[in-house]
Amino acid sequence: MAARFRMKKRGVGELLRSPQIEAEMRRRAEVIESVGQAIAPVGGPSDPHPGTYKASFRVSSTRRGGRRRDRAVATVANTAYYARFVEYGTERVHAHHVLLRAAAAGGR
């Protein structure tokens, strides 16, 4: 006799908001954070902010995330004021794509 499974949207919703899923999302975000810190560029001795970008990674998580606030999510961010220039570059500095590379390498 074959087993049967009936999916219920309410049950899937409860699963997506569960503490276990939030913990897994946070674990993955922390892996991405550590990879980002490892590959972050650090300025030389003449840089006015050496190591600031590397020390500014933050992880946050919630069980009420997503577009409809119906699932657990975790976010990795860099709070350095110049983080967007490190990620995307400027006309004088090439883009490093730190968060992009960290997510590709560590998001498993």
Residue 2 placed within a domain? no
97 within some domain: yes
Report if residue 56 sits inside a domain. yes
CA distances from residue 24 to 27, 33, 73 in whole angstroms, order as listed: 5, 14, 9
pLDDT in tens, 85-107: 999 999 998 999 999 999 998 76
Domain assignment present for 70: yes
Is 84 among the domain residues?
yes
pLDDT, tens digit (0-9, with 9 covering 90-100), for 14-57:
999 999 999 999 999 999 999 999 999 987 777 777 889 999 99
Count how many domains the chain has.
Answer: 1
User: Containing domain of residue 71, as a range?
Assistant: 9-106
Of 17, 20, 66, the closest CA to residue 9 belongs to 17
Nearest to 76 by CA among 87, 89, 88: 87
Q: What is the pTM of this model?
A: 0.85
> Domain for residue 38, yes or no?
yes
In a domain, 27, yes or no: yes
